[in-house]
Amino acid sequence: MALKDITLGQYFPGNTIFHRMDPRTKILLTVAYIAALFLCINVPAYLLAIAVLAGAVAVSKVGVKAIVRGMRPVLVIVVITGVLNLFYTPGQEIWRLGFLRITVEGIWSAVFMILRIMLLITCTFLLTYTTSPILLTDGLEKLLSPLKAIRVPVHELAMMMSIALRFIPTLIEETDKIMSAQKARGADFESGNLVQRARALVPLLVPLFISAFRRADELAVAMECRCYHGGEGRTRLRQLRFQSFDVLALVLAALLIAAVVLLGRLPLLP
Amino acid sequence: MEVILETKHLSHVYSTGTPFERAALVDVDFTAYRGEYLGIIGHTGSGKSTLIQHLNGLLQPTGGQVLFDGKDIWESKERTRQTRFHVGLVFQYPEYQLFEETVYKDISFGPRNMGLDEGEVDRRVREAAQFVGLTEQQLQGSPFELSGGQKRRVAIAGVIAMEPEVLILDEPTAGLDPVGVEQILANIHDYHAAHNATIILVSHSMEEVARTVDRLVVVNDGRIPFSGVPREVFRHGEELERMGLGVPQMTRVFHRLKAMGLDIDPSVYTIAQARQAVLDYRARKGAR
């Protein structure tokens, strides 16, 4: 079943240095890397960014296959971005057919744009593949906790996020099951025009919603039974602690940004 | 006996080509005869759910064939779809698939998908409702106002209304109270008797299966190690225990007696059989 093959945001357990790194470090590294990507403006800078990410992927032991598979759903966006950049960048024209024209600047900007999106996605995959959803939300909560001062409900948002992440696989499985059950009664999800297909979804969506509400209700009761009442005064089983390699990684990230900016100043081709 | 449903060298591998690749069925030859009451038994993850989802074409084999009435059910798209009407499958916890405003409409979902005319749909819905003991008043009410056991009977009626020649039920009594269990088993028995339908009951409870089925198929690790009448299967008491299945309590007692050195038949599973076995033993001993 195709539904089961969704890998977006799936955690691959492991014991590499990336898996053991503090989630806050990983989130900061990701942000730093994305920032660096947007500061890249020439070939050497991109080469450096690619090299750094390739190294990180190798260290994390997340297979190239898994990343390629995860890339598939966003391929359309990548292609569209590439095409738009290719045809709509003004500059020195080298080819023309009617209203379509390709410029030297267009080629460069298409290549850079595609690279940028792919690197961006790969780097966020690296984060979600090596960090369990629980740790990820823990890290986010900790990083955003200063916002509590201006009354942002950080803990509640983090809790909502962990619950949502936790239930994605459950709901996928449930959808699969209900689909099979209705197919066994002759339901047809694959043929007919748009209206017919939309109507065919009713026997799937009604039970799915009912079950989601039931689960939410049960979960709320279970949480209340354990005296859950929000983030106030809540302690943690696992305290997040920065280690020496966390500091090292952050320093390296800062160096990467500096290097990218410096490379951008080199008087090289685009 | 006439074969109605069979698999030949059926294999199924999940998630081929990924790190999660797993063989759920390995070269399985399974046969169901017309009109028999068959039990499939196996613990969680043994492959029994995968097997039954092949029998009505919900899963496509990665190797081998599934034959209904001697014809491959994957021969054409239309045949696969028709097979789903001939081989009715009731999933585990089927009450979670109800979706219509009234019980009547929900039961009629299957027959309507078959393209039957209004009069025939009505007849089937009413007959199916009768099989599972739903009243006229309940038919017009919302399925979501019923109790758990009643909901499950509505869901089973939804499959029975298609009047399948083979009715497969996956753990139909899971999570019900003893009265609910008896009612469901009686409903299934009534359908079996009235339509001479083949019933395939999937369960992990030896006690339940032992007292209802004519023949038993054991699934373990994606294969079928034993099949036959319950007494034949229960002779393999030790192997069954090792598969984590166990045997009915009565059978276990007699296996123990045999292990203690008594020359007694250990395959019994009802009180009547046990009485007979004890009498036979005494007669033999007396004769000596």
Query: Inter-axis angle of helices A43-60 and A104-130, to 10 degrees?
Result: 20
Rounded mean pLDDT, B217-224: 93
DSSP H helices in chain A: 17-20, 23-39, 43-60, 64-71, 75-88, 104-130, 133-144, 154-184, 194-200, 202-225, 244-265
Query: Do B87 and B197 touch, CB atoms closer than 8 A?
Result: no
pLDDT at A8: 47
Per-residue pLDDT reduced to its tens digit, B115-153: 999 999 999 999 999 999 999 999 999 999 998 889 999
Contact A186/B110, CB-based, under 8 Å? yes
Q: Does the model's ipTM exceed the 0.90 cut?
A: no
What's the confidence (pLDDT) of residue B140? 94
Q: Quick one: pLDDT at residue B288? A: 56
CA angle B64, B70, B72 (to 5 degrees): 45
Q: Which residues of B touch A (CB under 8 A)?
A: 15, 18-19, 53, 56, 58, 81, 84-85, 88-91, 94, 96-99, 109-110, 113-114, 144, 158-159, 162
Which residue from B150, B224, B165, B206 is spatially nearest to B4, judged by alpha carbons? B165
Structural contact between residues B265 and B277, judged by C-beta atoms closer than 8 angstroms? yes
Closest Cβ–Cβ partner in B18, B19, B158 for A185 = B158
**Looking at the partner chain, which of B18, B53, B110 has a beta carbon nearest the beta carbon of A185?**
B110
Amino acid at B31: T
What's the average model confidence in pLDDT over B15-23? 74
At residue A65, the pLDDT reads 83
Nearest-CA distance from B32 to chain A in Å? 19
- Strands lying side by side in the sheet with B223-228: B87-90, B166-170, B198-203, B37-41, B215-220, B223-228
Q: Among B18, B56, B84, B96, which would you mutate to test the A interface (most chain A Cβ atoms within 10 Å of its Cβ)?
A: B96
- Taking the CA of residue A65 and the nearest CA in chain B, the distance in Å comes to 9
Q: Give me the pLDDT at residue A178, please.
A: 93
pTM of the model: 0.76
Q: Minimal Cα–Cα distance from A204 to chain B, Å? A: 8
B113/A207 Cβ within 8 A: no
Residue B59, classed as helix, strand or coil, is coil
- What's the pLDDT at A7? 47
Contact A183 B58 (CB under 8 A): yes
Task: Please identify every stretch of chain A with a pLDDT value under 70, giving residue numbers as ranges.
Answer: 1-9, 267-270
Nearest beta carbon to residue A202 from set B53, B99, B159? B99
| Spatial contact of B95 and B176, defined as CB atoms under 8 Å apart | no
Residues with Cβ within 8 Å of A176's Cβ and at least 6 positions away in sequence, in order, are A1, A3, A4
pLDDT at B52 over 90: yes
Q: pLDDT value at position A1?
A: 39
Residues near B132 by beta carbon (within 8 Å), at least 6 away in sequence: B153, B154, B156, B157, B160, B187
Q: Give residue B58's pLDDT.
A: 92
Q: Please list, in sequence order, all residues whose beta carbon lies within 8 angstroms of the beta carbon of residue B200, skipping any fewer than 6 positions away.
A: B32, B38, B39, B40, B52, B55, B166, B167, B168, B169
Give the pLDDT confidence of B42-51 residue by residue, as tens digits.
888 889 999 9
Q: Please give, rounded to a whole number of angstroms, the shortest distance from the CA of B173 to a CA of chain A.
A: 17
| Predicted local distance difference test score (pLDDT) of residue A165 | 79
Cα separation, B226 vs B218, in Å, equals 5
Residue A181 buriedness (CB in 10 A; 0-12 / 13-18 / 19+): buried
For strand B63-68 and strand B3-14, is the pairing parallel, antiparallel, or unpaired?
antiparallel
Is the CB of A4 less than 8 angstroms away from the CB of B15?
A: yes
Higher-confidence residue: B209 or B112? B112
Distances, alpha carbon B29 to alpha carbons A162, B56, B219, in Å: 45, 16, 11
Decide if B5 contacts B38 (C-beta within 8 A): no
Residues in A closer than 8 angstroms to B90, CB to CB, are 184
Q: Measured between alpha carbons, how far is residue B217 from residues A259, B233, B281 in Å?
A: 68, 8, 29
- Residues 6+ away with beta carbon under 8 Å from A22: A139, A240, A241, A242, A243, A246
* Mean pLDDT within B240-267: 86
- Res A268: pLDDT: 59
Is the Cβ–Cβ distance between A117 and A78 less than 8 Å? yes
